[in-house]
Structure 1
Amino acid sequence: MTSAPPLRRPVLVGANPAVQLFDDAGDCTAYVSVWRVDWSDHGAGTALVLWQPSGVLLLAEDTGLGRWLTTSFVRHFPELDGLPWHEPVVRRTPVAVDLSLDSGLRASAGDVDVEIDGVLDRRACETDEFPLGSDMAGLRLVLAPCARGQITLAGTELPGGVTVSGTPARPSSSAFVTDAEVWLL
């Protein structure tokens, strides 16, 4: 017999597309987490969190929402395991997000632009064991791994490329879009 998953309540509904770039040696050169929060315990809105080896930049019109997303979620994502974490530089700025499970993502905030395209697949994913620091969260979403992703900062494309792996029937990528994303705690 399997035990039932723990009872949890939704704390966030929205989307969290991301791009992680790698150099030729396989080291992470940049990671961006884009948020479109339709509803949460901390309000609704958009945010963009950019990690680079030199620091973390948080861009959001609602900086309270942005800080919550950064400290409660992004900081604990597996893509950042083992990478140095710096106190985020916070800039209050609107974040424009144009998201499609057909074509990908275009997002911009201040001097940061993100593009994700070349959708390879769409599939539903769920887990009741997504680690967020000392908490274990539930996560339900539609995931679309993509062939391409780029991050531009102040007009300069950040170095590194997207890693695509998996199989043709179940591709995986370090660039992806999501939608119908529900976080449960």
Structure 2
Amino acid sequence: MTTQPLSRRRVLRAGAATALSATALTATALPSIADAGPTDPALRKVVLVGANPGVQLFHGDVVTAYASVWTVDWSTHGSGAAIVLWHDGEVRVLTDHPSLGYWLERTFTRFFPEATGLLWPEPRVERRAVHVTNDLAQGTRARAGDVSVRIANVLDRRAFATDEFDLGGRVHSLSLVTGPSASAAIEVRGRRLPGEIIRGGTPQRPSSSAFVAVAEVWRF
């Protein structure tokens, strides 16, 4: 089993459900890949402030599940929370604000390195209340509908910043504090999804395919 997961960590180093069709959400002002932001990072504007912890599970070198948890304090598309779950070739977006959740999945999550090589279809957006607790001391717990995500035993806390985060040809600036973690699980309908996280790095600078994130700012 490899100790370097193909994930964003390598880049960073460090009530009733209402299913909504993707076409019903296309009226949301989603940016085109052809749209170009300022090439000078100093001219880029803040588009999102929040947090985006995540878990990628593996069986050997094969990804079995990926969960991206969002809490958005402010963005150009509003505030709220979402869980984006990839499993068995399907993408679900569970969110209390469907237009925000759709934007998060279409603009950010599907372009993350964790999604590279995965069959990534149009998402199924489900209106659900999302409950998230997230900090660098205790880790992350998130649940929405029949999905729950847990990230625990934070191993390290590191600041990270880049002006070269490519999201489908649209280069963003990103800054955050990340905490690679020693344990994690994703459950659906009370059943734990198969696969394990991958840990690597050194005792002084550990890495993991499960991570807490806080103080996250995206600029474009």
Please give the range of the TM-score, normalised by the shorter of the 2 chains. over 0.9
Give the aligned CA root-mean-square deviation in angstroms: 1.2
Question: How far off its partner does 1:82 sit?
Answer: 1.1
1:59-97 residue CA offsets vs partner (Å, 9 max, x unmatched): 001000000000000010001111111111111001100
Give, in whole Å, the separation in 2 of the partners of 1:129 and 1:98. Answer: 29
Task: State the AA in 2 paired with 1:17.
Answer: P
Contact 2:89 2:118 in 1 (8 A): no
Equivalent residue for 2:132, pick from 86, 92, 97: 97
Higher strand share: 1
> Post-superposition, which runs of at least 4 consecutive aligned residues in structure 1 deviate over 3 A?
none
Higher helix share: 2
User: Residue in 2 aligned with 1:20?
Assistant: 56
Task: State the AA in 2 paired with 1:133.
Answer: G
Unaligned stretches of 5+ in structure 1? Answer: none
User: Residue in 1 aligned with 2:118?
Assistant: 83
Question: How far off its partner does 1:6 sit?
Answer: 4.8
State the TM-score, normalized to the length of structure 2: 0.81
State the TM-score, normalized to the length of structure 1: 0.96
User: Residue in 1 aligned with 2:141?
Assistant: 106
Give, in whole Å, the separation in 2 of the partners of 1:5 and 1:69. Answer: 21
Q: Which SS does the other structure have where 1:75 is aligned?
A: helix
Give, in whole Å, the separation in 1 of the partners of 2:125 and 2:44. Answer: 31
Identity %: 54
Question: How far off its partner does 1:103 sit?
Answer: 1.1
User: Residue in 2 aligned with 1:173?
Assistant: 208
1:4-39 residue CA offsets vs partner (Å, 9 max, x unmatched): 74521110000000000000x210000000000000
User: Residue in 2 aligned with 1:54?
Assistant: 89
Give, in whole Å, the separation in 2 of the partners of 1:174 and 1:95. Answer: 23
Unaligned stretches of 5+ in structure 2? Answer: 1-39
Aligned length: 182
Task: State the AA in 2 paired with 1:13.
Answer: V
1:37-72 residue CA offsets vs partner (Å, 9 max, x unmatched): 000000000000000133001000100000000000
Give, in whole Å, the separation in 2 of the partners of 1:56 and 1:45. Answer: 19
User: Residue in 1 aligned with 2:19?
Assistant: none
